Structure 1
C-alpha cells in the first residue's frame, strides 16, 4: 500500500479526490493566491499575515483569531509531488490524521480558496499559516 493509499484510508469518509485536470485548476488557484518560490516554498514576504506554528494543536486556535469556527470547514490538501491528486476534506478531519497526510510527500499545503488561507507543512519541520487578506 502506498503512502497516498494509507492517507486515504486514514481520512476515512467525507472527502473527495480530484481528477488530474481539477487538481491542476486547484493548483492554479493556489499559486495565484500564494506565490511559490523556485525551491517550492511560499514566498512568505509577499503574504499579509504569517503565523509560525509550533504544534498542529495551535492551527485551529490561530485560525480562529481571524475566522469563525463554522467557516473553517473544507480545505484542499496539496502536495509538492505534482503527480498526486488534490483532496478536499474538512480541516479538522485532516488535522486529526496529519501525520498520514504529511507522510505522502515532502511538502504539504492545506489551502482554503474561499477564506484565502494556507497551512504549509515544510519538510524541515516548519509549520506556517498564511492569510492572504486579513478579515476586517
Structure 2
C-alpha cells in the first residue's frame, strides 16, 4: 500500500500529495455524487499488522461501516486497480482520494 500511495512518516496518507481528494462525514456519502462502482471489490486494511486483510464489495463495506472501522484504530479501504484509497482515521476524519493514472 505504501508503495502505491504516499504516506507520512507517522502512518497517514499524505493527502497533500493527492490532488483528487475529498473529506467525508461518513462512508455513506460515497453513495451520493461519487462515480464509484459500488459493486467493485476493495481491500480493507487495518493498522494492526496481525489483522487479516479482507476483500469486499464497496457497497457491503459502506453498509457495515460501523463494524468495519471498529476492528482497528485506523482503517484503509483500497482499490489498487482504480488507484483509490479511503482513510478512516481514528480521530474521525474520513478522506477519499484517487491518484492520477
Q: TM-score normalized by structure 2? A: 0.90
Flag structure 1 segments of 5+ consecutive residues without an equivalent.
1-29
Higher Cα radius of gyration? 1
Displacement of 1:62? 4.3
Cross-structure match for 1:9: none
1:110-134 alpha-carbon deviations (Å, 9 max, x no partner): 0000100011100000010011117
In the aligned structure 2, how far is the partner of 1:96 from the partner of 1:118? 18
1:131 paired residue number: 98
Q: Within the alignment, does 1:56 sit opposite 2:41 as a pair?
A: no
Tell me which stretches of 4 or more aligned residues in structure 1 moved more than 2 Å: 60-63
The structure whose residues are more often helix, as a share, is: 1
Q: Equivalent of 1:92, from 22, 45, 59? A: 59
Superposed CA RMSD in Å reads 1.6
Gaps of 5+ in 2: none
Cα distance, 1:59 vs structure 2: 1.6
Alignment partners' CA distance in 2, 1:126 and 1:49: 16
Q: Which has the higher strand share?
A: 2
Partner of 2:43: 76
- The alignment covers a number of residue pairs equal to 101
Query: TM-score normalised to the size of structure 1?
Result: 0.68
